[in-house]
Structure 1
């Protein structure tokens, strides 16, 4: 495919007024998603010497985010994105700095978990915020698929560039440096995004005297996609911990970031292609096919025996990530009311984040007990589970009843 054929559809996206500003701000605001997990693992492991504790802390940060971010998204849909982004960014700054302070000062471990919960809960799903702006700006479904693919590519650019930076800073400057860098960049991006009010989706006005109508977001179809994403998140969380452990065992800890970047780079390449190729079949069948490819590709992790081989296999496995994410997000976007789009997209991200929580904890324990090479079984099994859940999701989503978002009066 000629280069111009790949990039022209993406260039057209940025003829939309304000698109460059909100997309760039969103890119910076999402940096913590690639630095919080890895940065906290490197920080806690350096201070405690335990991968199990490091994985548990990283999982706690992710779990708190998973629980809180849909609630923030619901408030955004009801009152607007800007005030929520502003206050959560400031809270994230204060609480993130407090988390680092208790870890490096040797405070009791329970305070590490407490601050991890609070700082994680102050985060919002920036990817969902940006995607809802694209959905508001673009009427053509094909353009929305391209925009969602672009945002997946933006995600992967973060995951390509941030891990080497985090591991470099942690290894050569100080253990907290990687975590803190991601924190500060994310806060700045969130504050800039909060000022871009003209591109935010409009809030449905409330009529005085009429009861508030609450949209039932968690339909069977949305839950099916979110649960499949949960298994994918398990793979991502496990990869962070196992790759760090394997690189450390090989005596080259700084290479961990390079291997994780290769994983993300594969997804970046696939995301660019998926955004412009018009595949046959429905969104549901594409989602199933992509989930099965993801499951198969990750089984190659059982073959890892050296860092060089890990980098190559990680890139190949990464080629299957973005298509699953784009297909699932497009599927959700096509089935939910605009008034609840940010919250609906956030629930899919929540599935990913809950999986990251489980994957971090399981992989940390596996590295401590079995060794890092054997612990690659955790992400491989997580990918296999993704394939099985993708089949179950396909069975749910192909039913006509899974295609309508329900609306119910809000409780008084």
Structure 2
């Protein structure tokens, strides 16, 4: 039925532990395969950089090829999210993983065959466009599970679920780069991408098979207007701020790789980047355990400001140890920013556009990653290894300016009709986003 969600006064959130969340019936049936399916997300860009760097010898070219993949993912990903909302997740996932495996295989063959650079772009585009949007799909399953099922409905659990998902994302960014680097340097440069494609296929198909926990489809009704997540100005603002976070990821991947190679320890780049992501993971775990009293909008501004501050020191680090410590400090602000952003965006869109909305945020990170890796690669080629670290502070700084100037757009409408299964949930969720 349709109910009216009203903006509520700021109220403290009840704390729900991770143990209670993970005991939600049916949760592990989709969480386990999702972990395998989303791990390659953190391996693809770095795997491309390592392979193309080995075959072409240019950080700029390697970063640009990775950027083409990330841009394709950023723009096509939300479209697959919309299709998943409309036709179901399995209908989108199965063809996606097949196309992804074929595209990555073509990219590897072309790179090893020393084909012209433009052919690498042609292969990288479908490889990125077909990356399964597992993180957005898992978040949609949590929303369906914790708002639509009367036996498990809990807005407090949903806040914890978003924290858990951000921690999981960061875990993949700890393990993924280390795994990709270890395989690429220990076996062969192409082996990292081969492992990425294999995990995508196996994990993606296993996740698609879990149909019982998939959210309900929202097919298009003839004569009705199409629901679009981007119709919300708040979603557009959050996507812009996540673009800034993405530049941090992209620039760090390329810059740390260059810094480690210049230091004579090329195999250490995955470890240093993993420490950066590990700081984010640690912060995410702690963030999800706190019953926050401040409004989510204030938390978003605070964590984003800390991100800018942390990034501002990276360029001045004299060695790998100092860089790892600075990266750890910088990473502490990442997960709180992402968790709060996902919490906010859930309250700004209708039920038929949630997967799309989550995917726009994920796609914005990918687009920022593309921009960050490209610009950092060019700066490194032209000005030296430390020049790439100017990109994270610039990208995050622009995101902070946008958030501060347009923060009023993050307030959900005073009244909004939304189709839900139980009337108590929407108002509580909107209240949670406020405080």
**TM-score, normalised by the number of residues in structure 1:** 0.93
- Residue 270 (str. 1) matches residue 277 (str. 2): no
> Match of 2:373?
360
Q: What's the offset of the Cα at 1:400?
A: 4.4
Q: 2 CA distance for matches of 1:273 and 1:247?
A: 30
- Picking from 182, 187, 190, the partner of 1:168 is 182
- Picking from 297, 300, 308, the partner of 1:284 is 297
> Match of 1:179?
193
Q: What's the offset of the Cα at 1:173?
A: 1.2
Q: 1 CA distance for matches of 2:406 and 2:133?
A: 23
Q: What's the offset of the Cα at 1:404?
A: 5.5
- Picking from 373, 384, 397, the partner of 1:371 is 384
Q: What's the offset of the Cα at 1:118?
A: 1.4
> Match of 1:336?
349
> Match of 2:229?
217
Shift of the 180–47 alpha-carbon distance from structure 1 to 2, 3 Å rule, reads: same
- Picking from 92, 104, 107, the partner of 1:99 is 107
- Picking from 164, 167, 171, the partner of 1:153 is 167
Please list every run of 5 or more consecutive structure 2 residues that lacks an aligned counterpart in the other structure.
1-14, 147-152, 420-435
Which has more helix, going by share of residues?
1
Write the mapping of 1:63-74 to structure 2, written as runs, cut at 5 A.
63-74=71-82
Query: Which deviates more, 221-230 or 95-104?
Result: 95-104
Q: 2 CA distance for matches of 1:202 and 1:367?
A: 47
Q: 2 CA distance for matches of 1:267 and 1:24?
A: 21
> Match of 1:125?
133
- Whether the aligned pair in 1 keeps the contact of 2:16 and 2:289 (CA below 8 Å) is no
- Residue 40 (str. 1) matches residue 40 (str. 2): no
| Superposed CA offset, 1:86-135 (max 9, x none) | 11111111111111111111122211100111111112321100000011
- Whether the aligned pair in 1 keeps the contact of 2:283 and 2:335 (CA below 8 Å) is yes
Please list every run of 5 or more consecutive structure 1 residues that lacks an aligned counterpart in the other structure.
1-6, 408-412
| Superposed CA offset, 1:40-65 (max 9, x none) | 00100000000000000000000011
Q: How many residues end up aligned between the 2 structures?
A: 398
> Match of 2:12?
none
Q: What's the offset of the Cα at 1:36?
A: 0.8
> Match of 2:57?
49
Q: What's the offset of the Cα at 1:392?
A: 2.8
- Whether the aligned pair in 2 keeps the contact of 1:217 and 1:405 (CA below 8 Å) is no
| Superposed CA offset, 1:324-372 (max 9, x none) | 0000000001221111110011111111111111101000001101111
- Whether the aligned pair in 2 keeps the contact of 1:267 and 1:318 (CA below 8 Å) is yes
Q: 1 CA distance for matches of 2:116 and 2:63?
A: 17
Q: 1 CA distance for matches of 2:398 and 2:160?
A: 28
Shift of the 53–404 alpha-carbon distance from structure 1 to 2, 3 Å rule, reads: farther
- Picking from 296, 303, 319, the partner of 1:306 is 319
Query: Which deviates more, 30-39 or 376-385?
Result: 376-385
> Match of 2:209?
195
Q: What's the offset of the Cα at 1:255?
A: 0.5
Q: What's the offset of the Cα at 1:306?
A: 0.1
Q: What's the offset of the Cα at 1:390?
A: 2.2
Q: 2 CA distance for matches of 1:46 and 1:161?
A: 22
Query: Which deviates more, 262-271 or 330-339?
Result: 330-339
**Secondary structure in structure 1 of the residue aligned to 2:227:** strand
Q: Which has the higher contact order (CA 8 A, sep 6+)?
A: 2
Q: 1 CA distance for matches of 2:318 and 2:285?
A: 30
- Residue 114 (str. 1) matches residue 90 (str. 2): no
> Match of 1:140?
154
Q: What's the offset of the Cα at 1:231?
A: 0.9
